Amino acid sequence: MLTVVLLIQLFRGFFLTFFYRANVLLRFERVVYIIKDVNYGWTFRLIHSNFASLFFLFLYLHIMRNIFYNSIKFKKLWISGFLIYLILIIIAFIGYVLVWGQISLWGRTVITNLLRIFPFGNIIIILLWGRFSINNPLIQFFYSLHFIFPFILLLIVVVHFYILHIKGSNNTFSVLNNNEKIKFYNYFLVKDIFTIIYLIIFLTIVIIKPIILLDRENSIKANYIISPIHIQPEWYFLYIYAVLRSIPNKVGGVLFSFIIILLIFLLIIINFNFDFKTYWVNKISNCLTVYLFILLSWIGAKPIEYPFFTIGFIFSIGFFTILLFKIVFSFFLKNILS
């Protein structure tokens, strides 16, 4: 499913570049032009924007499945997958910015201003913007990245598949005997045919409710003077957004978010293969991680007010604690008990 959706995104995104213009004065009008005046342009644009949500949905399901199967012990496979996720975040954010709606403008303003916490942050922002405000240079830069990065992503996906082909996928019982592996044909091939059914269901939703997964506020042209009442990212970024805003201090929020990403990467590096004695500890911590991810996504969509701010802070600390516990527990088992 992930592969099919990725290829669809590349195909439709390539054709959308024919009509888009990376210009502040024209880009919102060009999006409207694609929807209204280009033959079947509305299908290309709506499917391209909605399939981003579908891609992240399958990606999170894929990650959760492998967390429960403890596939994190395949370090090279997980590192390549981690890189895929990071590049996908950049692609999705940049693509959302190019629409030039209200949420696009103010979301980009918030994210780029986070660079001010770093040394020489103001200089970095001016170099990134190309001017003293967000204008054509930044949009042209983002447009180039949004076109190039998907091909880099495709290359890493090929590497990911190659490592998977060498190692083999994991299973519930963590059986790694090559003689007991299931062949791709005809078992997995028949199962993958159901991809067509899922795509038909999702396309039906897109046609009937085309903006059900999109922010209505982003259908309004960007305005520097009026900011939206409640700025929030797409649903697939809500969990990290909830963590970011849970810390009252801007510097603390950014550092806390980076620390969580660093803990996930450390967990990949030092992960220990749990045996039957510690199996239940791994499963409980995995379940709590998934539950907190869902709860943080819910909190991220709520206004920054009581009690959501307090609940978000508690969930963020809990998310951090569980990741730290898994790292310490894995390091303890790997270097002391073994």
pLDDT tens by residue, 38-80 = 898 888 888 888 888 889 988 998 888 887 777 777 788 888 8
pLDDT tens by residue, 244-283 = 888 877 777 788 888 888 877 777 776 655 555 566 777 7
Q: Is 305 a catalytic residue?
A: no
Catalytic residue among 49, 146, 160, 234: 234
Q: Is 234 a catalytic residue?
A: yes
CA 92 to chain centre: 7
pLDDT tens by residue, 280-318 = 777 788 888 888 888 988 888 888 788 888 888 888 888
Cα–Cα–Cα angle for 45, 86, 294, rounded to 5 degrees: 80
Catalytic residue among 36, 180, 183, 191: 191
Domain 1-229: assigned CATH number:
1.20.810.10
pLDDT tens by residue, 7-49 = 989 988 888 888 888 777 777 888 888 888 889 888 888 888 8
For the chain, the structural domain boundaries read 1-229, 232-338
**Taking the CB of residue 156, how many other CB atoms lie within 10 A of it?**
16
- Omega within 30 of 0 (cis) for the link into 233: no
Q: Is 217 a catalytic residue?
A: no
Q: What backbone torsions phi and psi does residue 261 show, to the nearest 5 degrees?
A: -65, -40
Q: Is 191 a catalytic residue?
A: yes
Q: Are 242 and 300 in contact (CB under 8 A)?
A: yes
Cβ neighbours for 289, distance < 8 A, ≥ 6 positions apart: 67, 319, 322, 323, 326
Q: Is 257 a catalytic residue?
A: no
Catalytic residue among 167, 169, 285, 302: 169
Catalytic residue among 37, 75, 144, 192: 192
